[in-house]
A and B are shown apart, each in its own frame.
Chain A
Amino acid sequence: MAAALDFTYRYAFPSGVVANETGGPQLSLATCDADLAKPYFFDGKLRKPRQTGEMLYVLSDVVRTHFFLPRPVILDPVLTSNEKLLRLEGFSGCCGVYARVDLPEGIFQGNCHGRGTTNVDFNIDMRNALLRLRDDEQVEFAVGADEVVLSRGNQRTVEKKVQLPLRWIKGFSEVQAYLPQLEVAMEVPAPDALRFLRSLPRSSVPKLPTFAISAARSIRPSQREVTGAVPIHGTHRIKVLEPLLLRARSLRVWVDRASGASGWEVRFEEGSFFLLISPELYRGFSGEGQALSALANPPGADAIAKVRASLKWQSELNAGALADQLGLQRTDVVGALAVLGSRGLAGFDSESGNYFHRELPFDLDKVEEMQPRLGNARKLIETGKIALLSPASDDAPAIYEVAGTGTTHRVRLEEQGAACTCPWFSKYQGQRGPCKHILAASIMASDEEGEPKA
């Protein structure tokens, strides 16, 4: 399997802050989708230019950073447009930090010309200009450009040839499996949050995870995991939020206790900036296997197809309503959305608790192939290396034997969770998703006969 895909971002013009016809500033984001079309989604005015500029600046910080290697990459963010919301999502070069900017209606006024998802050009000139947007200016805002403007052909086109690492695409897709698991751990006023971020180490960094703990309605860092603590591995990853907190309302901290991933949501009067960091600095979201359980036992193909057909760039996909509409069980709809999310076809908004439709503008067929652990699990079944040792009974779990390297592992499928004797499971205890042995056992268990599939 190739480690990266050759990909070319082609934009009709470079994004930037330019002077409009009246001489005022205009923030123009250039667009380009997977089919190399250049959609025109929006034009209007920004009601909060400074806040928007700062949010996009921090987003650019994330997408141009590899958080543990000095390897600068700029893998452009993707923007999803509909009438209610503009969403920009970015993913760091190290695949361990996901950032999302939510720009609701209150932040801009203007016309939505279309729904869809597109890459948007981020470049250094635009980045330099973003911090100079001021609220006392009338700043125009456009996502894409209309045919008339493009047909003039007087703009410099932009082509950026990049190597998109497959694990980057996979991580970008799979991050959606974490978001539904998040729960709110704490919310603190912006000044306290700023003080907290400033207190995090800059130069001499800890090897152990740091924890954010709630202290007298505020927040402070700690090296101890106490009840309610939120783990942070790689504190510099959340320090990128600092510039946003000067003008924000609060910081809401989310955590997925099972995996150790945490979400950091800077909330403004209108709009928010959401940052999700992986459980460890050196572990990106790809390969974490959080989506594997859903993929190993997906709802029926019909259910997935029906749900997929109903996707129309909605900013919220209510599973209950969708189930009623499609005549499916709610659990099937949730399962189908999880599968579609892992394929890059839906995102999840923890705030609303709902998925939203967007399609990552890459060759997503490859994403399907990038689940080696699931593939290995299926291979174990195909090669007959797994066998049911004893079926589940009232007082005993089902036990499977799986041939491993030099030994035979045992998998127990219990109601409170599966367990395996392999080193992977023994070390992580399921925190990094099920091992291939558990996946194989659960696939077999879903088969009525408990026999390996041909």
Chain B
Amino acid sequence: MTPDDLEQLILENNDTEAVRLAFKGMDEKARKKLSSTASALQRQLWDGKANATSSDRLTKFLKARKEASYTHWNSRANSNAALAVFAVGPLSAVKKWQTRPSYEDSQVLRKIIADRRPEWLEDWVHHELEQEWTRIEFPTLRIWIRDGLISRPESDGYYRLFASHLMRTGFYGRDKEAVPPLSKQLLDDPALLDDIEWLFRIETNAFNTNSWLVKGAADHYETWPQALVKLADGGHYDRGKLLDLALAGLQADIKQNQLSGYHKFFRLLKPGDDQLAARQPALVALLCHPVGHVAKFAIDMLAGLEKAKLLDDDQVLREMPSVFSGEGKGNGIAALRLLEKVARRTARQAEGRPDANALGAVIEGLRHAHADVQAKAIALLTTYADALDRAQWQDIESFGAFMSVSNRAAMNDLLGQAGDAIEPASIAAAPAAVDEAASYTPDIRSFAECSVLGEANRLEPVKDLQELIDLAFHCAEIVDDVDEIERLLDGISRFADQRPADFQDRVNPLIHRMSKRGSSHNGLASAYPGVAESVRALVLTWAMGELRGSHKQELVQYSREDAFVPMITFLHWVARHVHRREPRQLLSTPTHEGGWIDPVVWTERLQHLASNGTVEDSIDFRLSLLRLAPDNRCRARANAEALAGNAGRLARFALGGDEAPVRNDRKHYVSWITAARARDPMADWSELFEPLDIDDPWPGGAVPSAYRWHSAIEAGQHGDMRWKTPIFEVEVERADGKSNAAANGRAAFSSISRLLGVRKRIGWEAMPTAAVHQHQSKAKYHWYGDLNTTWVAQWLGYIWPQDPAFACYRGVRKLMQRVDDNASNWTPAHGFFKALFVRGRPWGEAGHLLLALGLVGKDADAKGLAVDALIEGIETRQFNPALFADVMARVSAGEWVKYNRLGESLKQVVQVSPVHANAIGAALLHWLPKFDLGQRNAFHVLEALVEAQAIAPQSLGLEARTAFGQLSGKTKAAKLAQQMLA
């Protein structure tokens, strides 16, 4: 065969048998001559590209292929080429993963190999079996072994193939294949029986318990465990050996899933008592197993031996304490039950004194992670307290530190029976009921009474140009916190005129970096469209000295936050000043973390601006109004007395002065409304602004906003599939309950007035306090929007720190979208919690709702921050138990809450201090009487209450007593309720 013949054979032949026959009988020398041609052809067909030296035939052939090269990987020509490489190529060529004949060619490949008998076959098989996926099929291997082409491989891959091939269902792609029962396959090839023991030494899927593995199988189908039991029943395989193999397998270093398969198989073999007794040492060894379900299996088997009166006490009691090192409650309880039986039996045999080692093992149970296990251990030790020796009492005493708070009283009762074995002083006094005067009281001050400024949260402005450049470089890569952005904006504005000779050289790497775009989610270099892109444009304007736009604003699928519309206007306004190199102290730069401005500093800024001209009614001015702290307003108002003009009037009005808007202030309506909201964020100002005759239909304008929300669940069904979807809806409207249309005020009259030019319509885009409540882009994709950048989410709460409810509700929406999702870098939801860490401002309903959703969500970042917020919120008294209880009552009405998550979070908080326990206890005692304690996993919340009561007891009110008293039966919730009522 010439190389040209070979090419023709590969490209033009559709008969694989003809391909095989073409190589039949060819000697190795002839094959070697064709080797490079076959490999080159195979490579070019794979890549879909002809070489410079390719024949016209091949070039034309490849040119005729219009689709991507991968669509031809299973084509006839490609498969022929692969067969040819096997027929003539060396080991290095067949080892390449691209050299793969199609599955339909398996038979032909087998014959080609049989004809050639290549010297590399053993090495190739070894190589293939070491790969994660191999193309060799088990029957092929068996034939080659039988025909003496290779010896039986000893690699793990061989046994994996062995396991998976024999257990095939014949379902996938081979529906005509009749797969005989597995036991029959083994008996038909008895040499395979020797391989069975390897299934217990390496990781295969023979004992995998996933149900999909047997989906669609025939009625006579047998799994490996079923087949092996059948072989044992039929006397074809030794049952005892299988039992030993299963136990040995449990000690192997393999996946938990397979380990469970081993012990299920062991049970399936139904060992008799004598067989179990003979394997008692191996079962005892498994008590130390780090995998919980393996240890549980051992406990169950040993419990069987105890029942059969065959338990080896010495062995078992020596190892049983290891069980209590694990976290699983079930194992701990099972171990204690077995120990209880041993103690009872040995006590009967020794005049009421149980085996000392049994009690020693029970003592170890006191260190278990779970309170129920500890409680059972205490109960057992209390039963046999008379039999405990001095050393054991001292052990019990030393383990007191491991005790959960809910068990401390019982532990003290137990230690009370120690007599002189321990020092009486070591028995801790039970906590007294919390003094009413010392109990937790939340901060319920109004906004005007709050104080939010302090030395600890003061922001340090950028001090010089170099620091500003360094900060810009850092923010280009990553913004650690939104305060960095505030400092950056302030620095750029103040140092806008500073352009020393080497300025451009100093910032060129920044421009280069920002132009190339970065990779970090939180860096300005890679800012997404929206407000972040506008900040990026401002930084580039400053660095390049030319006005830069934010060109990505119009991206269709991007959900831009309406709340930031005024902020984007502001950023463009700053950019224009910077472009003109006009340095200015921005009025809206926060002086303190949280977005706050000290009113005294603010009036000084106004005075400074006034001394250089007039204070314009700018977006900077409006935004600054919304950041004025409640502190120092009187002093600031005194400062503002000297301010002339409209700005002076606005400033004095915002700070609580006697000024008021007049009809001539219509063109400054937005600033007046903003000043009014700064003066009292929640007031209804419509009456005061009536003379201005402005059409302001927006929530957050003259009329404050009101949020309404509800939690529910919706059942769905498609065919046999049923599901439930949590529903959580948040709506915002004007607090006066009038819809936008109705509030347009007498709609017809309003329209006529507008047409006559008398009544002016204000758009929400111009009015920051109205924009924050807009949510026009809610229909777009939540995973692609402004708020997926953490510092942007944090910034939301900085727009209007005086009333951050809108930011909390926005966070609530986001948290609900991913309530059952893990923490994510792509759609993080933790930025919103920044609003809860702003000190001195009560959280209100929105804050408590945000907190609640953080606590019940799956996102570990959000949940962790919610727990922190709760802990700090109790310390600062921002947490309000009654409000939280009301919020939880409404949230839980939806019946979708995962109470295990909530309970776990609350337990963490309870343990911080008695004050925290008191606050959580108060919240739960408010909430639980309004809650259906029969809901799934509700007991987790009761556990938190039990812990709280153990640390800081409070008397149960009538409502709580009634609710707990209604719980009956043997459920965990009922037991806990009874415990609290006792």
| Residue among A127, A189, A427, A429 making CB contact with B520, cutoff 8 Å | A427
Q: B822-841: which have CB < 8 Å to A?
A: 822-825, 828, 830, 837
- Segment of B139-147, B853-861, B940-948 engaged in the interface with chain A: B853-861
Indicate if B865 sits at the interface (CB-CB under 8 A): yes
The A interface, classified by DSSP as helix, strand, loop or mixed, is mixed
Indicate if B513 sits at the interface (CB-CB under 8 A): yes
- Interchain CA distance A127-B912 in the complex, whole Å: 37
- Interchain CA distance A198-B401 in the complex, whole Å: 15
Indicate if B325 sits at the interface (CB-CB under 8 A): yes
Q: A370-408: which have CB < 8 Å to B?
A: 404, 406-408
Nearest chain B CB to A289's CB is how many angstroms away? 17
Closest to A131 in B: B288
Q: Enumerate chain B residues within 8 angstroms of A190, measured Cβ to Cβ.
A: 401
- Interchain CA distance A198-B512 in the complex, whole Å: 48
- Segment of B161-169, B347-355, B468-476, B663-671 engaged in the interface with chain A: B468-476
Q: Enumerate chain A residues within 8 angstroms of B863, measured Cβ to Cβ.
A: 204
Contact status B828-A207, CB under 8 Å = yes
Nearest chain A CB to B360's CB is how many angstroms away? 11
- Segment of A6-14, A151-159, A213-221, A337-345 engaged in the interface with chain B: A213-221
Contact status A206-B860, CB under 8 Å = yes
Contact status A216-B823, CB under 8 Å = no
Q: B315-346: which have CB < 8 Å to A?
A: 318-319, 322, 325, 327
Indicate if B635 sits at the interface (CB-CB under 8 A): no
Q: Enumerate chain B residues within 8 angstroms of A246, measured Cβ to Cβ.
A: 325, 367
Q: Enumerate chain A residues within 8 angstroms of B505, measured Cβ to Cβ.
A: 408, 410
| Residue among A128, A204, A409, A423 making CB contact with B859, cutoff 8 Å | A204
Contact status A421-B473, CB under 8 Å = yes
Candidate in A419, A426, A429 with the most chain B CB atoms within 10 angstroms: A426
Indicate if A208 sits at the interface (CB-CB under 8 A): yes
Closest to A64 in B: B253
Contact status B474-A427, CB under 8 Å = yes
Taking A204-B822, A243-B325, A404-B509 as contacts, is the C-beta distance between A426 and B477 under 8 angstroms?
yes
Contact status A410-B520, CB under 8 Å = no
Q: Enumerate chain B residues within 8 angstroms of A205, measured Cβ to Cβ.
A: 822-823, 860
Q: A178-236: which have CB < 8 Å to B?
A: 189-192, 194-195, 198-199, 201, 204-208, 210, 215-216, 220-224
Mark B487-526 against chain A: 1 for CB-CB distance below 8 A, else 0.
0000000000000000001101110110010101001000
Q: Enumerate chain B residues within 8 angstroms of A201, measured Cβ to Cβ.
A: 860
Contact status B252-A124, CB under 8 Å = yes
Q: Enumerate chain B residues within 8 angstroms of A192, measured Cβ to Cβ.
A: 401
The total number of A-B Cβ pairs within 8 Å is: 111
Q: Enumerate chain B residues within 8 angstroms of A419, measured Cβ to Cβ.
A: 470
Indicate if A175 sits at the interface (CB-CB under 8 A): no
- Interchain CA distance A194-B327 in the complex, whole Å: 11
Contact status A421-B251, CB under 8 Å = no
Indicate if B868 sits at the interface (CB-CB under 8 A): yes
Taking A198-B327, A216-B912 as contacts, is the C-beta distance between A224 and B506 under 8 angstroms?
no
Contact status A222-B512, CB under 8 Å = no
Indicate if A252 sits at the interface (CB-CB under 8 A): no
Indicate if B732 sits at the interface (CB-CB under 8 A): no
Nearest chain B CB to A212's CB is how many angstroms away? 12
- Interchain CA distance A96-B285 in the complex, whole Å: 32
Closest to B508 in A: A407
Q: Enumerate chain B residues within 8 angstroms of A409, measured Cβ to Cβ.
A: 509
Nearest chain A CB to B502's CB is how many angstroms away? 9
Candidate in B512, B830, B865 with the most chain A CB atoms within 10 angstroms: B512
Taking A205-B823, A206-B861 as contacts, is the C-beta distance between A220 and B908 under 8 angstroms?
yes
Nearest chain B CB to A452's CB is how many angstroms away? 20
Q: A242-287: which have CB < 8 Å to B?
A: 243, 246
6 nearest CB pairs, A to B: A223-B864, A427-B477, A191-B401, A206-B860, A407-B512, A426-B473
B binding-site residues for A, Cβ under 8 Å: 251-253, 285, 288, 290, 318-319, 322, 325, 327, 367, 369, 401-402, 470, 473-474, 476-478, 505-506, 508-510, 512-513, 516, 518, 520, 523, 822-825, 828, 830, 837, 858-861, 863-865, 867-868, 871, 908, 911-913
| CB pairs A–B below 8 angstroms (25 shown) | A124-B252, A128-B288, A131-B288, A194-B402, A195-B911, A198-B369, A199-B908, A204-B858, A204-B863, A206-B861, A208-B864, A216-B913, A220-B911, A223-B867, A224-B837, A404-B509, A410-B506, A410-B509, A421-B510, A422-B509, A423-B476, A423-B513, A426-B474, A426-B477, A429-B474
